């Protein structure tokens, strides 16, 4: 049997077999962990020095491209991962969650990085705030790579997604990763890392893999490092309290299993479409990954008068679920990850039965489908009912981490919220309701105890990704028992691995640090119009002060007739005189258009298209007889690797526009985004 290897300090390490890892399907040995000793001090130093250096030789945009390349390579080889993942008990649908979901997360962060992060390795987190009366002294915030390593400790249920959802934002942030997967399914993670290495897109030292124990790794971590953990709350507490973590204030992010809920609101009856949607959602979450999801529904809260109807529908649905070898046609639910996990789930079911009764499962008739499955870690879905939760309900404290859920009746929707809170913090809850007023009233109450709320009705069900599907662009994590941490959430996840620092100084100095124009900074004025420069030649702070234009009454009338905007402030002399402005004023969008007429270079040139405005504000009114003048300044350049439809390379330029009147008062302010051509090759 193969011996799995760790990937440490650029070398695959592992020759001597140690622990045998049996298939969860048939008990046959899939691989062995290795018994070779790892030098964790060397691993940490290698990550910081070699990995950090190779990542910092790239910028955000280049790292985003590397993520995309890795995702494409994994996509091409995912069938290899599918075949191996079957031994973890994963069905085809489960692989869609773990393997395809992990690859999709890489793609998502590659795309977000290209769209939302700048060229370079400094993120400006504005706005800039004047700290002096005349704006000679100002302040803002920047985000920069931390310079340490990120240690990611993952759970057994998602050997691919669990690694990639942490790795993607870490890599994008320029921080090397040391990944420690759970031992029972680490053979799938090892293959994924090998494929990522084979892709050629993984910079040296940016990813290391530990097979087996973390040993004394925590002793060698420094203040700039980060630890993330997914698993049980008990293990999270133990790791979080490691002396070195505490003494050096090393950030520790935990995502623990939680007792998630699904609530059927009182307005939904068995005659409504939402009733069947609710039952389908609960049934799917009980059986996906054989219930081994940190987001799985454990508590099913329903009005007392609908308990029997819900139980009957769930019983009917669960009876159709075929459990067994995932390679067998028709099997919808595979095995638990290991025999140890099976015994743990059985023991917790017995604890739950002290306050509940069985509705489905446990009658002794269960036989998994497929040859050799008698040696596998299979269990049928178990649905329990706690009829009198006021006398105590173990489902608020005990988690059977498998296809197990407990139906709990409630009197009022407020009672349901109270029952939810007994989970002491959860990752997600689904509220199924037809009534927007119920959602509006109850969702804020539920939000205090949850990291995510899934509001489900017939409309949302048409496209919903489901209760148990964390998405790259939305936060994953929850308070209290759920760990108190945050993962994913779009670019927020990248920010978790960057250091936020406030900076103070003159606008010119702030512009030099942020690599963005800051108002009040020195500008660069040349005889060449900025719109005449190609992307590479354009400098941050390059600026144009336009000629002036006096606004006339004819301008206002003509613009109103052209646009159809005959708002009284522009056309009714008496009404305008009685307004806060005391006079007729020009349309704000006329001021915008007039400013464009002042700063646009009309001839053919490198500026290709305007595709948006940001931060638009109209500050002071412009009246007939006022004279306006615009300043156009190159604020930010982002090389996203874009090409035009005919294949010509281009970049994104953000321009700061300030429009002043004859009294040097700012009347309009905004950013304009343009596509600018690069020089012909």
186 classed as catalytic: no
Q: What is the mean pLDDT of the chain?
A: 92
The answer, yes or no, to whether residue 679 has pLDDT greater than 90, is no
**Residues 76-133: tens digit of each pLDDT:** 999 999 999 999 999 888 898 999 999 999 999 999 998 889 888 999 998 899 998 8
Q: What percent of the chain has pLDDT over 70?
A: 100
The answer, yes or no, to whether residue 642 has pLDDT greater than 80, is no
Give residue 233's pLDDT.
Answer: 83
The answer, yes or no, to whether residue 1 has pLDDT greater than 80, is no
Taking residue 310's Cβ as centre, other Cβ atoms within 10 Å add up to: 24
Taking residue 186's Cβ as centre, other Cβ atoms within 10 Å add up to: 25
Q: What are the distances in angstroms from CA 365 to CA 267, 332, 362, 371, 380?
A: 37, 18, 8, 17, 10
Give residue 74's pLDDT.
Answer: 97
The answer, yes or no, to whether residue 681 has pLDDT greater than 80, is no
**Residues 288-331: tens digit of each pLDDT:** 999 999 999 999 999 999 999 999 999 999 989 999 989 898 89
Distance CA 457, CA 274 (A): 6
Q: What are the distances in angstroms from CA 557 to CA 436, 495, 584, 586, 632?
A: 44, 49, 11, 9, 27
Which sign does the torsion angle of CA 383, 389, 391, 392 carry?
positive
The contacts of residue 571 (CB under 8 Å, 6+ apart) are 556, 557, 560, 584
Question: What is the radius of gyration, based on Cα positions, of the chain?
Answer: 30
**Which candidate in 186, 294, 311, 393 is catalytic?**
294
The answer, yes or no, to whether residue 643 has pLDDT greater than 90, is no
Distance CA 238, CA 155 (A): 15
Distance CA 270, CA 272 (A): 6
Highest averaged pLDDT of the listed ranges 230-234, 577-581, 618-622: 618-622
Give residue 439's pLDDT.
Answer: 94
If residue 31 lies in a helix (H) or strand (E), which one and from where to where? strand 29-34
Q: Which of 131, 140, 173, 145 is nearest to 511 (CA)?
A: 140
**Residues 246-289: tens digit of each pLDDT:** 999 999 999 888 899 999 999 999 999 999 999 999 999 999 99
**Which candidate in 190, 255, 274, 281 is catalytic?**
255
Give residue 115's pLDDT.
Answer: 86
Pick the range with the lowest mean pLDDT from 173-177, 506-510, 553-557, 609-613.
609-613
**Residues 654-668: tens digit of each pLDDT:** 999 999 999 999 999
Distance CA 118, CA 98 (A): 30
- Cα 447 to its chain centre, rounded Å, is 18
Distance CA 531, CA 518 (A): 20
The answer, yes or no, to whether residue 573 has pLDDT greater than 80, is yes
Cis bond leading into 127, ω under 30°?
yes
User: Could you give the count of Cα atoms lying within 13 Å of 194 in the half-sphere of its Cβ?
Assistant: 15
The answer, yes or no, to whether residue 505 has pLDDT greater than 80, is yes
Give residue 638's pLDDT.
Answer: 86
Contact 397, 228 (CB under 8 A): no
255 classed as catalytic: yes
Q: What are the distances in angstroms from CA 12 to CA 5, 8, 190, 487?
A: 6, 6, 10, 29
Distance CA 628, CA 642 (A): 35
C-alpha triplet 420, 421, 424: angle, nearest 5°: 120
Residues 169-181 have a mean pLDDT of: 96
If residue 475 lies in a helix (H) or strand (E), which one and from where to where? strand 475-476
Contact 423, 294 (CB under 8 A): no
Distance CA 266, CA 441 (A): 14
Looking at 152-261, list the stretches that DSSP marks H as alpha helix, in order from N- to C-terminal side: 161-172, 186-198, 233-240, 243-247
Q: Which of 406, 362, 371 is nearest to 386 (CA)?
A: 406
Give residue 580's pLDDT.
Answer: 87
């Amino acid at each position: 049997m193969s011996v799995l290897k760790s990937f440490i300090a650029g070398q695959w390490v592992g020759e001597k077999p140690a622990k045998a890892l049996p298939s969860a399907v048939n008990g046959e040995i899939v691989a062995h962990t290795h018994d070779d000793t790892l030098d964790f001090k060397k691993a940490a130093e290698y990550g910081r020095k070699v990995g950090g250096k190779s990542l910092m030789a790239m910028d955000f945009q280049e790292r985003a491209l590397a993520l995309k390349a890795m995702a494409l390579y994994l996509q091409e080889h995912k069938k290899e991962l599918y075949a191996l993942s079957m031994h973890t008990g994963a069905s085809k649908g489960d692989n869609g969650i773990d393997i395809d979901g992990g690859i999709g997360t890489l793609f998502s962060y590659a795309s977000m990085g290209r769209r939302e992060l700048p060229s370079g390795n400094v993120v400006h987190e504005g706005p800039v705030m004047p700290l002096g009366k005349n704006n000679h002294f100002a302040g803002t915030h920047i985000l920069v790579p931390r310079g340490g390593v990120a240690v990611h400790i993952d759970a057994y249920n998602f050997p691919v997604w669990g690694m990639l959802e942490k790795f993607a934002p870490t890599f994008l942030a320029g921080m090397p990763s040391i990944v420690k997967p759970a031992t029972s399914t680490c053979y799938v993670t090892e293959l994924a890392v090998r494929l990522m290495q084979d892709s050629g897109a993984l910079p040296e030292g940016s990813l290391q893999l530990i097979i087996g124990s973390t040993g004394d790794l925590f002793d060698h971590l420094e203040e700039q490092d980060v630890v993330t953990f997914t698993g049980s709350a008990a293990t999270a507490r133990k790791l979080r309290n490691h002396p070195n973590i505490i003494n050096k204030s090393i950030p520790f992010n935990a995502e623990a299993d939680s007792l998630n809920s699904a609530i059927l609101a009182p307005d939904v009856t068995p005659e409504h479409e939402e009733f069947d949607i609710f039952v389908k959602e609960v049934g799917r979450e009980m059986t996906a990954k054989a219930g081994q999801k940190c987001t799985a529904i454990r508590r099913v809260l329903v009005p007392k008068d609908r308990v029997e109807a819900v139980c009957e529908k769930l019983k009917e649905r669960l009876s159709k679920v075929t459990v067994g070898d995932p390679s067998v046609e028709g099997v919808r639910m595979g095995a638990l990850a290991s025999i140890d996990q099976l015994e743990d789930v059985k023991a917790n079911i017995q604890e739950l039965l002290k306050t509940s009764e069985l509705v489905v499962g446990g009658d002794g008739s269960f036989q998994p489908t497929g040859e050799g499955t008698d040696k596998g870690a299979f269990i049928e879905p178990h649905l329990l009912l706690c009829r009198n939760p006021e006398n105590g309900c173990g489902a608020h404290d005990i988690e059977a981490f498998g296809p197990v859920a407990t139906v709990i009746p409630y009197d009022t929707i407020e009672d349901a919220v109270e029952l939810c809170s007994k989970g002491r913090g959860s990752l997600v809850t689904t509220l199924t309701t037809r009534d927007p007023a119920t959602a509006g009233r109850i969702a804020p109450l539920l939000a205090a105890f949850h990291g995510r709320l899934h509001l489900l009705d017939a409309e949302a069900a048409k496209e919903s990704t489901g209760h148990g599907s964390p998405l790259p662009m939305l936060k994953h994590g929850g308070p209290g028992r759920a760990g108190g941490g945050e993962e994913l959430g779009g670019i927020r996840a990248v920010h978790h691995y960057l250091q936020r620092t406030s900076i103070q100084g003159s606008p010119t100095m702030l512009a030099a640090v942020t690599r963005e124009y800051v108002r009040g900074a020195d500008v660069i004025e040349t005889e060449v119009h900025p719109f005449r420069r190609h992307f590479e030649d354009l400098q941050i702070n390059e600026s144009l002060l336009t000629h002036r234009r006096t606004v006339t009454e004819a301008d206002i009338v003509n613009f109103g007739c052209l646009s159809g905007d005959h708002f009284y402030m522009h056309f009714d002399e008496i009404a305008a005189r009685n307004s806060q402005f005391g006079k007729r004023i020009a349309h704000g969008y006329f001021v915008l258009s007039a400013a464009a007429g002042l700063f646009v270079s009309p001839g053919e040139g490198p500026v290709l298209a305007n595709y948006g405005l940001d931060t638009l504000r109209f500050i002071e009114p412009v009246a007939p007889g006022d004279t306006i003048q615009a300043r156009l300044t190159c604020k930010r350049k982002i090389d996203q690797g874009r090409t035009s439809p005919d294949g010509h390379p281009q970049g994104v330029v953000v321009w700061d526009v300030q429009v002043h009147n004859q009294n040097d008062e700012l009347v309009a302010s905004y950013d304009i985004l343009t596509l600018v051509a690069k020089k012909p090759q």
